[in-house]
Structure 1
Amino acid sequence: MTPGSNLPLNAVRVAVDVTAPVRLDVSGLLLAANGKVRSDDDFVFYNQPSGPGVTHSAAAGGADTITVDTAAVPEGIEKIVVTASPDAPGATFAGTEPTGTVRNADDGSVIASFTPPRLGTETALVVVEIYRRGGVWKVRAVGQGYADGLAGIATDFGVTVEEPAAPAAPQAPPAPPAPPAAPAPAAQWGPPAGTPAPAAPPPAAAPPAPAADPAAAPASGAGKINLDKGRVSLQKNQTVSLVKGGRPLLTSVTMGLGWEPAFRSKSIDLDASVIAYGPDRKKIDNCFFGKLMILGGAIQHSGDNLTGEGAGDDEAITVHLGGVPPEVTGLVFVVNSFSGQKFSDVAKAYCRLVDAQSGAELVRFDLTHAEPRTGVMMAKLIRQFSGEWEMTAMGEFVDARTVRGMVKPAAQAL
């Protein structure tokens, strides 16, 4: 979804998960026709986890969830707004854009997802709203930020926020009278009186910093670059940090994969997939033409292309980075020849990472040398301890016609 867009809900009970690379406090407010809560009982959050038709739940180490049972919401309530704020005091959303995922609360299927764009100094956010219009319940993407935290949102919607009174400053006791000056004792640990103190030794000279390499990308395998200079073309084994202007890219990206049949060869059926791994290199799930959505909608596949014909990407996999569960630390993008033809019969195979909101190409990797095998690991995305993601071009060939045969070699390549 994009800011302001809406769609009807196809479920009576819906759950809104809000995820981010940092811990969030997520709340739900039940609003009447005047846009205000009827009382503080309509403010649902971790310390008051239930209200009329609305509940709050928190998963250990995972997303906070606001669940709305539209059949149980009182008639006087027109909408439920779902808000989020960073748990750390004074923290902002800069570089940590959250993702709201709306699911059918009964079967877990994803209805919609929304990642608010261009967040910065905001300390709280209205993510989405579930609202009633003409007897039909809908969901709207909002993305409105607040600079004064969750208290600012609550106050705007009529919740009473009591500020704790500042304690009175204690009076300082009167200073005791100064004791009479004592005669200076003879020096015991220093040099004789009148001896100048030795000068401090000069600090050791720091080694000169190496000169910056003006090249846009280092030699293959020589290091990492970021997105500050715009689109990056990678060679095999090169890595790019998905960081621009010092901020991690934590929005939705699409990995587009494309290929063309080699000269005079038949159409070739290639399948693009992504495999999600945990920190122990154990497979968590995989997304391919037979399973178009995984991880609660955080990863979505465009569908199967049977020939590779046509301009542009043949298959695409969209990743909502902010919605990828914290237990997923690595994603490996692979392509397989389901029909059994070798990659030596493929021309112009490539993968490219695109900003899903703006359509701007961020990273591109062209596979220049193919091998007569049926599977290739194109690229991997690895989550760093600091929260940002890194993309590494792989170009490693294996013998496997389906994504199932890629799980073990891809794990070994992480």
Structure 2
Amino acid sequence: MPVELTKGANTALPGPVAVVTASASTPLDIAALLVTATGKVRSDDDFVFFNQPAGPGVHLQPPSTLRIDFAAVPADIEKVVITATIDGPGTFAMVQGLAATVSDAGGTPVAHFVPPGLGSETALVIVEIYRRQGAWKVRAVGQGYATGLAGIATDFGISVEDPAPQAPPAYQQPPAPPAYQQPPAPAPGKINLDKGKVNLQKGQSVSLVKTGAPPLTRVRMGLGWAAGTGRSIDLDASAILYDARAKDVDKVWFMSQKGAGGAVRHSGDDLVGGGGGDDEQIFVDLTGIPPNVVALVFTVNSFSGQKFSDLSAAWCRLLDDVTGEELVRFDLSGSKAHTGVVMCTLRRAADGWEMTAIGEFHDGRTVRAMVKPAKAYL
């Protein structure tokens, strides 16, 4: 029978391998951070998660099992911190049957831990595997985080977000909008939604106004792709929020899925694409965007380093999130051998919001690398 651990308790691990499995009524994603005596990782390579499933001596078996080969763990790594996050929206208050089981190489359970007292947390350090006098042990932790996996990763030295000189002002819910008034007609020659869905070409803009119709309140940016090589490609869609000084005030991506006080939300990471529809989506409540945000730039990155030239197709489309109607589509053609692309912008205009197709390629595996080049398109 496995040892039943209570929070803070520990037990020895026999053998050269430990297999950690997280189980619950709700699907979970498990991850690991390889930490030195400083309490930090050595680099981002020491973070094993769904987008980077292997590290030194640690291998992810998606979605919720990790295998640790002790002989392959570098000598300067003192512990392997195991985390669990909910695969989708919600908090651990809704999760039942949460437990971690540590087994040996043959699958025999060695230790079992049921974390107590969780509520508003969205991520959890569930156990840690650590060295003690030349042997390996497991400790039950059960520490919850309301800031998700990004909050845990930051605490252990992963560069999740670019440092900012100062924190942006706290978001306050704007006052209720005034009663609807007819928006002014768009300038002559400017594309709008009067004739229905618009297919944008690179560099074109469209006003998200339809004469005689109320202004849009909620939109959804869908991004999709298909590999031309017969293999899957992991692309990541993101939104960067800028103020009038072209300062990035927030980022919404797979590691930080809410921004602007919840007015911008990410649907979650898609690891393969090629589903025929939108592989990742970003939801935008236009009425809730803070007044200091003047533009959102939508980018896509190849986290695993594959080039966009390996794609047979990539596109983004804007939908009315209230009615589901497709408003604007931009198909990206002529893909180049880069790992990032600025797809489009959504920005405030005199008569409402407008979308501009960009389609310019850059290099970068995450949204952090896109912040500076994206400013050129504001």
TM normalised by structure 1 equals 0.47
Match of 1:252 in 2: 218
Q: In the alignment, is residue 232 of structure 1 matched against residue 319 of structure 2?
A: no
**Per-residue deviation, residues 137-185 of structure 1 (Å, max 9, x unmatched):** xxxxxxxxxxxxxxxxxxxxxxxxxxxxxxxxxxxxxxxxxxxxxxxxx
Go from structure 1 to structure 2 and tell me whether the alpha carbon gap of 1:241 and 1:248 turns closer, same or farther (over 3 Å shift).
Answer: farther
Q: Give the Cα–Cα distance (whole angstroms) in 2 for the partners of residues 340 and 329 of structure 1.
A: 31
How do residues 203-214 of structure 1 correspond to structure 2 at under 5 angstroms?
A: none
* One of 181, 190, 200 as aligned partner of 1:94: 181
Shift of 1:382: 1.1
Matches of 1:315 and 1:239, distance apart in 2:
23
Deviations 1:341-389 (A, max 9, x none): 00000121000000101111000000111000000000001102x2501
Match of 1:352 in 2: 317
2:333 aligned with 1:389, yes or no?
no
Structure 2 equivalent of residue 132 of structure 1: none
Check the 8 A contact 1:273/1:286 in 2, yes or no.
Answer: yes
Q: How many residues align?
A: 207
- 1:236 CA displacement: 0.1
Deviations 1:273-328 (A, max 9, x none): 00000000000000000111111110010000000032210000010111101100
Asked whether the 8 Å contact 1:248–1:389 carries over to 2, the reply is no
Note the C-alpha offset of 1:85. Answer: 6.7
Aligned counterpart, 1:406 = 370
Contact 2:237 2:253 in 1 (8 A): yes
**Counterpart in the other structure of 2:285:** 320
- Which secondary structure does the structure 2 equivalent of 1:400 belong to? coil
The 3-state SS of whatever aligns with 2:292 is coil
Could you list the per-position Cα deviations for residues 80-116 of structure 1 after superposition, in whole angstroms to 9, with x for gaps in the alignment?
xxxx573xxxxx33369xxxxxxxxxxxxxxxxxxxx
Q: Which of 250, 269, 277 is equivalent to 1:285?
A: 250
Deviation string, structure 1 residues 224-264 (Cα, Å, up to 9, x no partner): 300000000000000000000155633100000000011x3
Retained in 2: the 8 A contact 1:237–1:394?
Answer: yes
8 Å CA contact retained: 2:209, 2:215: yes
> Corresponding residue for 1:72?
none
Map 1:9-24 onto structure 2 (within 5 A).
none
Amino acid in structure 2 at the alignment position of 1:239:
S
1:115-264 equivalences under 5 Å are 224-245=190-211, 249-262=215-228, 264=229
Q: 1:64 to 1:281 in 2, by over 3 A?
A: closer
Matched AA of 1:403 = V
CA deviations over 1:366-414 (Å, ceiling 9, x no partner): 0111000000000001102x25011000000001111000000001221
Rounded Cα–Cα distance in structure 2 between residues aligned with 1:343 and 1:326? 35
SS at match of 1:243: coil
8 Å CA contact 2:226, 2:276 repeated in 1: no
Q: Say which SS state the counterpart of residue 317 (structure 2) adopts.
A: strand
> Aligned in 2, Cα 1:246/1:408: closer, same or farther, shift over 3 Å?
farther
Identity rate, percent: 56
Unaligned runs of 5+ in 2: 1-92, 94-168
TM (normalized to structure 2)? 0.52
**1:273 and 2:273 equivalent?**
no
Pairwise CA distance, 1:266: 2.2
